[in-house]
Amino acid sequence: MSDIISQIGDIAEDILPMCTAKIRKSFKNLFIETLILFVVMDKVNFTQLARYGTHNEKTYRHHFENPDVDTVTFNLELAKRYFGDSIGIRAIAFDPCYINKSGKKTEGVDYFWSGCANSAKWGLEIAGVGLIDTSAHDCIMLEAVQTPSGKVFGSDAILQHEESEKNLVGKEAVSDYDDIKDDVDMKMPRPYHKKKQIDTVACSENKNNDSTDICFTLIDWYLNILTSLPKCIHDYTNLVVADAFFSKRKFIQGLRKHGYELVSRLRDDAALWYLYTGLPTGGRGRPRMFAGKVDYDNLDRKVFYRLDLDIDSGECFAGKVYSKSLGMKIKVVIWFSDDHKRHKIYFSNRLWMSGRAIVEVYKSRFQIEFNYRSGKGFASLNKCQARSMNKLRTHFNLSFTSINCLKLAAKQNGIPFSISSLKTMVHAQYLMNRFICVSGLSPNSELINKLNKEVITLTRLDIKPAA
């Protein structure tokens, strides 16, 4: 087994020229050093980086505020090397994740939904984008984008406006209408409004005057993240997989406009209709489109066919139907429990996709959750002490990139991926190299290789060569 630290440095040095047209040598060395420190350290902050690294704290802060590396392209190249010639179906996994964060001064801090706590908690949220492979049963993270606070979306704009009907006075009021009328596209009903309510009141007024939804919603934000991905991602795969929260017409139509297709789940009581495939009657009016509503207790076996899949001791049926909520034809796979008292509905708007592929892709979506678990437990995903959104985003992406590098290094060395054992091994290798570096002795390759093998033997724990 080779030195994993040197191996990760070689991987980063090989991929970096593909991510930017021109890169300075000093920046390349700083990026590789920071990436290695994320692999080595258990708790990453600017003070710890300055302690373990070769630069001062100010240098790392400036580097995190102004990153020059396209981490999406970098991680895509890692994914291509990791999956290799796998014959599985590739898809873009998308899932938000809650991040612990205390205080009120951090950009984007608000109440966000936490699936583990099953409630909204104070902190941050990131929207993770990963690349999954159904044959490899694994996920390589591409990018993590922080979600803004609810004030940006105007979630409580109307309530605030209705409660504030009186003229405001004092230092919190804006009395000079000429200074703000150019920034607010509305006719203000009275010349006094709180500064923080100017934008939200304008949003609520436009929403009341227009029939369309003008306010920027959370679904719009998630959709913007996916549609803003580089073209190389779309060329690699245009299939997106997400959980049942994203089975909305607005989300799917937005993806279709940019050439993406979705695999997701519907609610268990979704209204589905059989498609009419008979001949036209020749009568007046619109041609018949539907042949009745889908009854989950009594499926039409002329439309649904049974799949040879063993999922939780149940049975699956696939067919093409029309979804009332989505307003389109979809391919669905309905799973029934062995007693037929429970069922789940998987779907895709890619009509030619097989039922088995729909189930496999959706089941593989959960691999992105393991990256969140590894990031929070071993890559300091939720331990960033910065408050700037740029620094936070750099920290999140470096955390996931370090996990990706460890996965690729483990595969190249022929060992199964265990982030706990690998982190212990890499930390020991780093300390050994640091002792040799500061000892002032001339390097002895035979001695270093012997020490390296000894470190691997002592720290590999439960790592065994892959069969």
Examine residue 24 and state whether it is found in any structural domain, yes or no: no
10 Å CB burial of residue 242 (0-12, 13-18, 19+) is: buried
Q: Is 223 helix (H, G, I), strand (E, B) or coil?
A: helix
Residue where a domain terminates, one of 193, 209, 225: 209
CA torsion 418→421→426→428, rounded to 10°? Answer: 180
Distance separating alpha carbons of residues 315 and 116, to the nearest angstrom: 29
Domain that holds residue 187: 155-209
* Token reading at 45: 């902050």
Distance separating alpha carbons of residues 429 and 251, to the nearest angstrom: 47
Distance separating alpha carbons of residues 430 and 428, to the nearest angstrom: 5
In sequence order, what are the residues at sequence separation of 6 or more whose Cβ sits closer than 8 angstroms to the Cβ of residue 439? Answer: none
Could you report the per-residue pLDDT of 68-96, keeping only the tens digit for each? 778 899 999 999 999 988 889 999 999 99
In sequence order, what are the residues at sequence separation of 6 or more whose Cβ sits closer than 8 angstroms to the Cβ of residue 415? Answer: 1, 463, 464, 465, 466
Examine residue 183 and state whether it is found in any structural domain, yes or no: yes
What is the domain count for the chain?
2
* Token reading at 434: 């640091």
Q: What is the pLDDT of residue 191?
A: 43
Q: Is the pTM of this model over 0.85?
A: no
Examine residue 404 and state whether it is found in any structural domain, yes or no: no
For residue 366, give the H/E element and its range. Answer: none
Same domain flag for 202 and 275: no
Same domain flag for 272 and 343: yes
Examine residue 113 and state whether it is found in any structural domain, yes or no: no
- CA distances from residue 16 to 22, 24, 28, 68 in whole angstroms, order as listed: 10, 11, 8, 11
Determine the length of the chain. Answer: 467
Examine residue 46 and state whether it is found in any structural domain, yes or no: no
Distance separating alpha carbons of residues 228 and 217, to the nearest angstrom: 16
Same domain flag for 205 and 270: no
- CA distances from residue 390 to 146, 387, 394, 395 in whole angstroms, order as listed: 9, 9, 6, 9
The amino acid present at 181, given as its one-letter code, is K
Residues of the chain with pLDDT under 70: 1-2, 21, 154-215, 438-445, 447-448, 451-467
Whether residue 132 contacts residue 152, with contact meaning beta carbons closer than 8 Å, is answered with no
Q: Sign of dihedral through CA atoms 46, 51, 57, 59? A: negative
Q: What is the pLDDT of residue 171?
A: 43
Alpha carbons within 13 A on the beta-carbon side of 112? 22
Q: What is the pLDDT of residue 441?
A: 64
Q: What is the pLDDT of residue 399?
A: 94
Q: What is the pLDDT of residue 162?
A: 35
Q: What is the pLDDT of residue 402?
A: 94
* DSSP for 45-65, written as a single string: -HHHHHHHSSS-HHHHHHHHH
Residue where a domain terminates, one of 186, 209, 232: 209
Residue where a domain terminates, one of 209, 232, 252: 209
Examine residue 202 and state whether it is found in any structural domain, yes or no: yes
The amino acid present at 338, given as its one-letter code, is D
Examine residue 441 and state whether it is found in any structural domain, yes or no: no
Distance separating alpha carbons of residues 421 and 462, to the nearest angstrom: 7
CA 42 to chain CA centroid, Å, is: 22
Examine residue 134 and state whether it is found in any structural domain, yes or no: no
* Token reading at 72: 């999406």
